[in-house]
């Protein structure tokens, strides 16, 4: 069960915020959900949106501008928080890329992080059960997308759970965290120093081992200041080519890493998911 914290009318639907107690994360968690008015059917397909570093459930709902198109398509859009919260939850002060706001959508195994930082279990378990219990959702038609760290989460959670997330896309995702500073920092501290334990959260490695039957859509800005050091989409492109994974990688000229970039292409992504979830 979840408590409805707020509800605001938007494009003929409602933008909601829920709070509930999470057993996976050992704390209260919030999520945002846009629910269009349902006219012809009792349930609607769902798109889960995973946000990036430093974000909460509010970022996408206030900056991405997806509500108008979601209402037109009859698509529920759910945005969970990026990490556990609360005074008792361990954090790394003055480190924006680790700790609160940087859960990396994995299940930590190392102290002191392992008690609360279990975002993989949260998203694939509790979050989906809450969506089913609280929203008019068709759980046979669920897709996943995300931005940056959230793009990493979307790709890895789909590749590991294609039966849960039927469609997948990403905006400027971290595609090879085992090979870039953001990922190496997070994976080594959450999972331990043995690199062999990191592969389960690396989309480029996962797609080589078990490509998805779904086609993957990735948008990446060419003016993204994290492109060469942290994102490196060519590594994922190479892995997809080698494994036969269907991939549409669009390099968007002049776009950066911000929500200006996300808001420009979010309509394309919603239509991509809706076509495949309803077709």
The gap from C-alpha 30 to its chain's centroid, in whole angstroms, comes to: 15
81 given a catalytic annotation: no
- Give the residue from 141, 143, 157 showing the smallest Cα distance to 48: 143
Taking phi over 0 as left and psi of -120 to 50 as alpha, with beta for the rest, 124 belongs to alpha
Which helix (DSSP H) or strand (DSSP E) does residue 275 occupy?
A: helix 259-278
**Catalytic residue selected from 148, 169, 204, 212:** 148
Beta strands in 56-185 (DSSP E): 76-80, 137-146, 167-171
Torsion of CA 106, 103, 142, 241, to 10 degrees: -60
CA distances from 52 to 164, 183, 239 (A): 21, 13, 23
- Token digits of residue 21: 């107690």
Using DSSP, how many helices (H) and how many strands (E) does the chain show? 9, 9
Indicate the DSSP class of residue 19: E
Q: Are 218 and 198 in contact (CB under 8 A)?
A: no
**Catalytic residue selected from 147, 224, 269, 273:** 224
Q: CA–CA separation, 45 vs 241, rounded Å?
A: 30
Phi, psi of 63 (to 5 degrees): -120, -25
148 given a catalytic annotation: yes
Residue with tokens 């008792």: 88
**Catalytic residue selected from 147, 152, 158, 257:** 257
The gap from C-alpha 149 to its chain's centroid, in whole angstroms, comes to: 8
224 given a catalytic annotation: yes
Q: Give the residue numbers marked as catalytic.
A: 148, 224, 257
């Amino acid at each position: 069960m979840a408590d409805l914290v707020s509800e605001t009318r938007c494009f003929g639907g409602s933008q909601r915020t829920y709070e509930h107690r999470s057993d996976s994360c050992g704390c209260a968690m919030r999520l945002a959900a846009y629910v269009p008015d349902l006219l012809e059917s009792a349930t609607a397909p769902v798109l889960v949106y995973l946000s990036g570093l430093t974000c909460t459930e509010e970022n996408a709902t206030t900056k991405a501008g997806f509500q108008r198109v979601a209402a037109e398509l009859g698509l529920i859009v759910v945005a969970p928080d990026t990490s556990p919260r609360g005074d008792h939850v361990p954090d790394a002060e003055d480190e924006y890329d680790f700790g609160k706001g940087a859960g990396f959508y994995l299940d930590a195994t190392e102290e002191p992080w392992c008690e609360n930082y279990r975002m993989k279990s949260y998203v694939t378990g509790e979050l989906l059960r809450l969506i089913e219990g609280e929203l008019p959702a068709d759980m046979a038609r669920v897709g996943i997308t995300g931005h940056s760290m959230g793009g990493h989460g979307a790709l890895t959670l789909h590749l590991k759970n294609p039966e849960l997330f039927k469609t997948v896309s990403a905006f400027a995702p971290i595609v090879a965290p085992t090979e870039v500073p953001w990922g190496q920092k997070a994976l080594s501290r959450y999972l331990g120093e043995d690199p062999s334990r990191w592969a389960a959260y690396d989309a480029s490695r996962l797609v080589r081992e078990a490509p998805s039957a779904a086609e993957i859509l990735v948008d990446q800005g060419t003016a993204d200041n994290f492109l060469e050091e942290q994102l490196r989409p060519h590594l994922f492109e190479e892995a997809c080519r080698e494994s036969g994974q269907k991939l549409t990688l669009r390099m968007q000229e002049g776009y950066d890493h911000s929500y200006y970039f996300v808001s420009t292409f979010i309509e394309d992504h919603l239509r991509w998911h809706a076509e495949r979830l309803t077709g």
